[in-house]
Structure 1
Amino acid sequence: MLRQEKRQRNKTVSFERNQTLSSNVPRAVHMVYCYCKTALENGRKLAFLLDHEVFADDYEVNLHFEDISPLYHLEPISGNCIVVYIWHLYKKMVKENKIEKFRFVNPHSIPNLQKNIHDKTGKTEWLNKRASSLADKLSGAAMDQVVLVPSCCGFHWTLTVIEPYKEIVYLVDSLSHRIRDEDWIYVVEMALRLFNSTKGRKGRKRVQWEVIKAPKQPDAKKCGYYVMRFMRQITEEVTTLEGDSLRSIFTKTGYSMEEIDEVRTELAECIQNHIYE
């Protein structure tokens, strides 16, 4: 995933040269963009040291201008921005006393499959490494806690919602209403087997997968914004995953531009607060 983000940064540099400022963006996004265009010149960065409780780890995420520019121009968003948005949701849940209900997994802790692995043994080892990382994150979940896992396959972001003690997995994908990534199925199911082993649990014979018919993105660029919106909607509207509660909140065929701008604004305001605190 880090290699992908470096490639994205290189693309952004050339893309940026041909762009002009637009008035059709949220005010907070515009202000952050203008500030960072100067403040983050020559590879400078904004460093966010997240509370240990966010990912059960001391984690620092660094935003460069190459992360900010796509946010402004509504281009594919980086994993770093998604991590900062999780930081925003976490702080919001602390204020609303919802922190016991949800747990986030850092997408950078479960990197995507390396494209240079061609042999079956090497691929299996890499998938098992990813599964072990995910299992480690699941192990800290409380009995009734829901785990939200944003993940990137290639250049596409999806959200996986896991109830580890029930071994139920929900896939929320803005491109498809079916499970397309067999490698990810393997990673999640292996992680749950490792989780059960760690807890001394027998577990069920088969993991239960549910595909949620979530809003679909209108183009190839907005998957990251949709994942942010998915996480926002779940943490705001879901109190329990009993029955069809998760399905019931996703009733739209797509998000409006105003709804996408809402999460862009929240992310930008989180960055602003960090700049001026």
Structure 2
Amino acid sequence: MPLPLKTILRFAEKVMDKDLEIRYKLPFSLFGIGRKTCVLREDIIDFCNMREVKTLTLVAYMAYLHSQDELSNYIFVDPSLISVGHNTQEVRARNLCSRLMASKPNQLVLAPFNPRAITIFRSQKNIQTSRKQPIWKTMKCPLQVGVVEYGYYVMRYMRDIITNGSIVVTDFIDTRTSYSQLKLDEVRMELADFLGGHM
């Protein structure tokens, strides 16, 4: 495990109480809402140990990306405001619409979202719909090899999009290969450094 991850993991396990968190402020320019947020102790332990990434961890990494550059070509959508399980469908749609309306021409909207959650929700609630099915366009991204890496892939993919500096993302990513553990560790270390600055 890389040193920045060992350091923050040791801090979370040895210093932080069970219900403690690392708090920080999200700038208005990130999601169009200025607010305080946090990453929970258990989330820190999970991302250090390469377990499933939770929404608060994803938000923290988006805050890190936003803090690195003036990202005038990109606009971020807070995944906690559009995810199933947070508010009603109408409120989630309004939240997404608000960010889309705030975008400018030639801006790429980065909205990490799990569309499979809609299918899971419908099956759990036995919801039938008479509406026409949406046409989904699948974005190209590197092939994921495991089941818990998707959050790390989302973070790395956003990083690659921003690093590339283009708003056309369909052709510059090699979809035949997977991200190496080294590439995923880069994202994890960036997040550890970002959170370390707020301890």
TM-score by length of 1: 0.62
> In 1, distance between residues paired with 2:99 and 2:3?
36
Paired-residue identity, %: 24
> In 1, distance between residues paired with 2:145 and 2:58?
20
In the alignment, structure 2 segments of 5+ residues that lack a partner are: 122-133
> In 2, distance between residues paired with 1:88 and 1:126?
28
Letter in 1 for 2:153: Y
| Matching residue within 224, 227, 249 for 2:151 | 224
For residues 41-80 of structure 1, the aligned pairs below 5 Å read: 41-80=17-56
For residues 5-16 of structure 1, the aligned pairs below 5 Å read: none
For residues 31-46 of structure 1, the aligned pairs below 5 Å read: 31-46=7-22
For residues 8-157 of structure 1, the aligned pairs below 5 Å read: 25-94=1-70, 99-113=71-85, 126-153=88-115
Query: What's 1:256 paired with?
Result: 180
The secondary structure found in structure 1 opposite 2:106 is coil
Q: CA deviation at 1:208?
A: 7.5
Q: CA deviation at 1:181?
A: 5.5
Q: CA deviation at 1:258?
A: 0.6
Q: How many pairs were matched up?
A: 187
Larger strand proportion of the pair: 1
Whether the 8 Å CA contact 1:70–1:77 is kept in 2: the answer is yes
2:167 matched to 1:240?
Answer: yes
Q: CA deviation at 1:269?
A: 0.8
Deviation track 1:1-59 (CA, whole Å, cap 9, x = no partner) reads xxxxxxxxxxxxxxxxxxxxxxxx12111100101223321312211111111111112
Q: CA deviation at 1:150?
A: 0.7
Whether the 8 Å CA contact 2:81–2:95 is kept in 1: the answer is yes
> In 2, distance between residues paired with 1:75 and 1:237?
27
Letter in 1 for 2:79: P
Q: CA deviation at 1:153?
A: 4.7
- Structure index of larger Rg: 1
> In 2, distance between residues paired with 1:72 and 1:270?
13
TM-score by length of 2: 0.84
RMSD after superposition: 2.5
> In 1, distance between residues paired with 2:26 and 2:9?
22
> In 1, distance between residues paired with 2:85 and 2:38?
23
